[in-house]
Amino acid sequence: MQVFSTVEEIRKIVKGWRREGLSVGLVPTMGFLHEGHRSLIDCAVRENDRVVVSVFVNPIQFGPNEDLASYPRNLEADTILCEKAGAHALFHPAPEEMYLPGFCTFVDVPDLSRFLCGKTRPTHFRGMCTVVSKLFHIVMPDRAYFGQKDAQQLAIVRRMVRDLQFDIQIVGCPIIREPDGLAKSSRNTYLNPEERRAAVVLSRAVALGREMMEHGERSAAAVESAMKCLIEQEPLARIDYVTVADAQSMTPVERIEGPVLCAMAVYIGTTRLIDNFFFGDPLC
């Protein structure tokens, strides 16, 4: 596996693969890779002749009071994981490589970004769409792989690809969880032992919400209320949102009558964690 830091370098190798008639998969990440990322790479390796993993902590998707400076990074460990997983190239550009002087062009999907995480992180998805669209243009993949843990991100990327007519298949991959149910996340490393134990309340709330829907509950408010009540029993937890939304539009619903996404963001101490589940056709 080779590591590239410039757009020119990664484009050159991808164009060589294209001349050979090889298919290319892309796994966009912000690094500090874990088993969840590994599952995306594994899927990409199975489905493509060549796989590029990008490792880039994207500054424009962090708000002014968010954790850009402290976001965990370990390129050496990321390189080892990618190589063991069978990736063929790791693209690790500097911010100035991705955003040239005077950069002022952005990609936005506002209708799907207004609710859920977009409500409290208003610039996040614009930054994400911009960097993902740039990676698509740079790597020119046949397929790109995203995790369902960031379900709103996955829905927004799908809409962006449809609306802008990218010739790319977006592949959604299931959430990978710890043995106790906590969804794998790079931000889990922020948790101290007491917070780590408390964080399991997210997956417990997911299980409760899913069980209620499977047993016939169709009131979104009833499901949200029960989940919030469970989370609020944990003293270290502070709810950002718990919302049942339409699985395609990300718009909150009152009645669960079609495929829905039940998503949450919860602070455990100062660490913001997310989790979710789909009910009905997960559309990914």
Residues with a known catalytic role: 37
Dump strand ranges (E) for the chain. Answer: 2-4, 24-29, 50-55, 89-91, 143-147, 169-173, 237-246, 260-268, 271-279
Question: How would you classify residue 32: left for phi > 0, otherwise alpha for psi between -120 and 50, otherwise beta?
Answer: left
Tell me which residue has tokens 């960097």: 131
Query: What is the C-alpha to C-alpha distance for residues 139 and 23, in angstroms, rounded to an integer?
Result: 11
Tell me which residue has tokens 């009071």: 65
Tokens of 156: 């927004």
Query: What is the C-alpha to C-alpha distance for residues 216 and 48, in angstroms, rounded to an integer?
Result: 41
DSSP class of 99: S
Query: What is the C-alpha to C-alpha distance for residues 82 and 89, in angstroms, rounded to an integer?
Result: 8
**How many residues in total does the chain contain?**
284
User: Which residues on neighbouring strands pair with residue 200, listed in sequence order?
Assistant: none
